[in-house]
Amino acid sequence: MSVPTKMGFENAASMGLSKEEWERVCTHLGRLPNLCELGIFSAMWSEHCSYKSSKKWLKTLPTQGERVIQGPGENAGVVDIGDGLAVVFKIESHNHPSFIEPYQGAATGVGGILRDVFTMGARPIALLNALRFGEIDHEKTPHLVSGVTAGIGGYGNCIGIPTVGGEVEFDASYNGNILVNAMAVGLAHSDRIFYSAASGAGNPVIYVGAKTGRDGIHGATMASTEFSDETESKRPTVQVGDPFTGKLLMEACLELMAADAVVAIQDMGAAGLTSSSVEMAAKGGLGMEIDLDLVPVRETKMSAYEIMLSESQERMLMVIDPSQAEIARQIFNKWDLDFMPIGQVTETDRLILLKEGEVACDIPLAPLVDDAPEYDRPHSTPEIPEEVPAHTLIQDISISAALKNLIGSEDLCSRRWIYEQYDSHVMADTIIGPGGDCALTRVYGTNKALALTTDCTPRYVEADPYNGGKQAVVEAYRNIIAAGATPLAVTNNLNFGNPEKPEIMAQLVHSVTGMKDACAFLSTPVVSGNVSLYNETDGNAIKPCPVIGMVGLIDDWQNAGTIALPPDAALFIIGQDATTNTGWLSNSIYAKSLAQHVGGAPPPIDLEAELRTGSFILSCYENKLVQAAHDISDGGMLVALAEMMLAGNQGASITLPDTLDTHSWCFAENQSSYIIATNNPDQLIRNAEHAHIPLLHLGKSNSNQELKISNGDLISLEEIRNSYETGLRSRLEK
């Protein structure tokens, strides 16, 4: 065979391979690789594609469950929701590209995760996101927020999938490395899920979708290195999104799948044609032969290396049933998309690429996938800080002043400025859109609805990775429960710094362990996920951010909850009473925002209490005892109550016991509790006693437009609303 230019270790190093990995490449080939081959190895063995630093720990996560149809390892996880239907979902990061080019980075993040979902045979029905930006007053932040928001909307709005929820945080540790995680959720028939494993030697391999260009070449490798001042020069490696072509591709693929012509299908995401061809062939235990001259390109003289490593968007690779080829071609013609047989499945166990009649690449597949490096990176033992005593944090201001300040802060104020740029109700099945505990999306044509949320509290994870990992799960769990839905399963997005540093690796190891324990205990298996490492700029790591995306199910959307407070309802805290609340202000938003105290132990997590309280809330829904519900998290009880008042446009008067300082009562972030508004307080109290659930009668809602506290403090709803609604706009548009 003809192998043009031979590569050396210096070439491998520039593509991110270590000396040991380089030697492994040469051993497997039995010779030196050429540029294309080295590019394929380096992309497949990049952190982004191989999970080489995290795999050991990801394997510990619970992935099985009664309802799980497909766990991690495919394009997305699949969970049974009954009546022959399944929910298909996954979250994925697009952090590095979004920092370099916020609009395209975020847009292609959305496009990529949507392809992962419809590749499985599911019609996408909802998008969520989890965003982290630098300090709100940092010079780059308004530009990045505007660009990312417009990019998410630009793709989702155009393709016509509603963006129904998400979370946004601002923190200095993200000044040089923002986080853009996008989650997509789809619906499929549970007996018609499509997988990526190729089968049938001789079956044609078809390229469909947009043409291949020189954009995003080696993007997966870029996503696997730290940032530096030269990052700006990487702008050409950011892909460009085309949601219109994405829409055509989605419709064409779903139509083709319905026609029963697809044997295997894989989207060309990170590492483009490389990862799609390698994964399809390797999963099927077969080989693949591709003629690169047949790949539709939009630029001339593209080399084998460029074609294989391009991350041009809106492309798919399929193996089809040859007898259905004509039907398939007609469907793609209808949608005006390229449909090009470029090769075939072989029995050789090798990936062979032809270019201009010569062999441009000949790689054994098994080592590329099975012998991908896997590291047990050293990790230190995290030093968990002490609880910062509440009395050292409490400010000498009124409760109402503290509330007004907190609810207008960038941590807690309304995200309306962002989410009004997302089409949140296209598809006409959004029951609860952005702004509540979780989003609620009706399952088309049924009474069922899916409850969807994304959550993480990085400041907790930084202080105590194990408990922080757990907390991301329990907060998501509470958000689903608060809407009256049953949590089903999760997807996770692990965002960390450089795993080669033992203290960063420790964050990963311990937070994944926390997630593992919480997911196992709450019976919410992890069915898909993504890892984003090397989130550092000039050696400064981000606050660790292991995001949980959770999906819950409610059998009848009409029984779903709301956070909107009705008038004349009795208000209860469920999960805490006058003696069990410890007034945990350490590492709270109150501490950060009002006392300017960052760090300290985060609130402890009691999984048994979470499960017991969560089950009790669901039983209250069954017994029609809930008129409104909201979980207590960032900002504490009074912030949660204020959000309920704002959503329902109602007032409230509350009485606090004297077992704690009033500030602790109002703003502590003790976990596993909810606020409930009920019109049947006697029954609620009886049921709680019977179930041994602590509860506290907080007060009553009313139609007065004010919040009245038993210590005489009073604040109008208008004043709270003004602070809440202007917090973001006033600082992003200044």
- Residues carrying an active site annotation: 48, 94
The percent helix, strand, coil of the chain (3-state, each to 5) is 40, 25, 40
Site for other proteins in 500-559 (CB under 8 A): 557-558
- The total of other beta-carbon atoms located within 10 Å of residue 590's CB is 30
List 38, 106, 125, 158, residue binding other proteins (CB under 8 A): 158
By C-beta, is 196 or 312 nearer to other proteins? Answer: 312
Smallest gap, in angstroms, from Cβ of residue 159 to other proteins? 7
85 contacts other proteins (rule: CB under 8 A): no
By C-beta, is 152 or 282 nearer to other proteins? Answer: 152
406 vs 157: CA distance, rounded Å: 32
User: Could you tell me which residues come within 8 angstroms of residue 245 by beta carbon, excluding any fewer than 6 positions away?
Assistant: 209, 210, 313, 314, 337
How do strand 526-532 and strand 287-291 relate by DSSP bridges? unpaired
Strand ranges across the sheet with 526-532: 430-432, 439-442, 449-455, 545-554, 486-495, 526-532
List 59, 244, 392, 690, residue binding other proteins (CB under 8 A): 244
Helices (H), 18-101: 19-29, 35-44, 47-50, 55-58, 95-100
Q: Is residue 317 within a helix (H) or strand (E), and if so which, with residue range?
A: strand 315-320
Region near other proteins per CB under 8 A, out of 111-119, 241-249, 585-593, 653-661 = 241-249
By C-beta, is 14 or 444 nearer to other proteins? Answer: 444
Region near other proteins per CB under 8 A, out of 158-166, 392-400, 582-590, 683-691 = 158-166
- The total of other beta-carbon atoms located within 10 Å of residue 200's CB is 16
409 contacts other proteins (rule: CB under 8 A): no
Are 277 and 49 in contact by the 8 Å Cβ rule? The answer is no
Q: Which residues, in sequence order, are bridge partners of residue 323?
A: none
By C-beta, is 71 or 209 nearer to other proteins? Answer: 209
314 contacts other proteins (rule: CB under 8 A): no
List 70, 175, 221, 424, residue binding other proteins (CB under 8 A): 424
Helices (H), 589-716: 589-593, 607-622, 636-648, 662-667, 681-691
350 contacts other proteins (rule: CB under 8 A): no
By C-beta, is 468 or 561 nearer to other proteins? Answer: 561
User: Could you tell me which residues come within 8 angstroms of residue 95 by beta carbon, excluding any fewer than 6 positions away?
Assistant: 177, 178, 179, 180, 181, 223, 495, 532, 535
List 247, 355, 377, 470, residue binding other proteins (CB under 8 A): 247
Region near other proteins per CB under 8 A, out of 29-37, 288-296, 422-430, 530-538 = 422-430
List 190, 245, 586, 673, residue binding other proteins (CB under 8 A): 245
647 contacts other proteins (rule: CB under 8 A): no
**Torsion sign, CA atoms 419, 420, 425, 427:** negative
336 contacts other proteins (rule: CB under 8 A): yes
Region near other proteins per CB under 8 A, out of 63-71, 232-240, 242-250, 683-691 = 242-250
List 24, 94, 132, 442, residue binding other proteins (CB under 8 A): 442
List 230, 370, 428, 712, residue binding other proteins (CB under 8 A): 428
Terminal-residue alpha carbon distance, the chain: 63
Smallest gap, in angstroms, from Cβ of residue 449 to other proteins? 8
Give the pair of three-digit tokens for residue 727: 């917090």
* Phi, psi for 573 (deg, rounded to 5): -95, 130
Smallest gap, in angstroms, from Cβ of residue 417 to other proteins? 9
How many residues sit in the footprint of other proteins (CB under 8 A)? 30
663 vs 647: CA distance, rounded Å: 23
160 contacts other proteins (rule: CB under 8 A): yes
121 contacts other proteins (rule: CB under 8 A): no
214 vs 692: CA distance, rounded Å: 63
Q: Is residue 150 within a helix (H) or strand (E), and if so which, with residue range?
A: helix 141-159
Smallest gap, in angstroms, from Cβ of residue 583 to other proteins? 38
CA atoms within 13 A on the CB side of 640: 31
**Torsion sign, CA atoms 263, 268, 273, 277:** negative
Region near other proteins per CB under 8 A, out of 152-160, 271-279, 338-346, 679-687 = 152-160
366 contacts other proteins (rule: CB under 8 A): no
Region near other proteins per CB under 8 A, out of 238-246, 377-385, 545-553, 581-589 = 238-246
User: Could you tell me which residues come within 8 angstroms of residue 420 by beta carbon, excluding any fewer than 6 positions away?
Assistant: none
Smallest gap, in angstroms, from Cβ of residue 478 to other proteins? 23
335 contacts other proteins (rule: CB under 8 A): yes
374 vs 25: CA distance, rounded Å: 14
By C-beta, is 429 or 610 nearer to other proteins? Answer: 429
Smallest gap, in angstroms, from Cβ of residue 106 to other proteins? 13
355 vs 361: CA distance, rounded Å: 9
List 23, 260, 420, 568, residue binding other proteins (CB under 8 A): 420
By C-beta, is 156 or 497 nearer to other proteins? Answer: 156
415 contacts other proteins (rule: CB under 8 A): no
* Phi, psi for 446 (deg, rounded to 5): -130, 180
Smallest gap, in angstroms, from Cβ of residue 341 to other proteins? 24
**Torsion sign, CA atoms 668, 669, 670, 673:** positive
242 contacts other proteins (rule: CB under 8 A): yes
Region near other proteins per CB under 8 A, out of 148-156, 267-275, 590-598, 609-617 = 148-156
103 contacts other proteins (rule: CB under 8 A): no
159 contacts other proteins (rule: CB under 8 A): yes
644 vs 636: CA distance, rounded Å: 13
List 13, 32, 85, 150, residue binding other proteins (CB under 8 A): 150
Contacts with other proteins by CB under 8 A lie at 150, 153-154, 157-160, 242-245, 247-248, 335-336, 419-429, 431, 442, 557-558
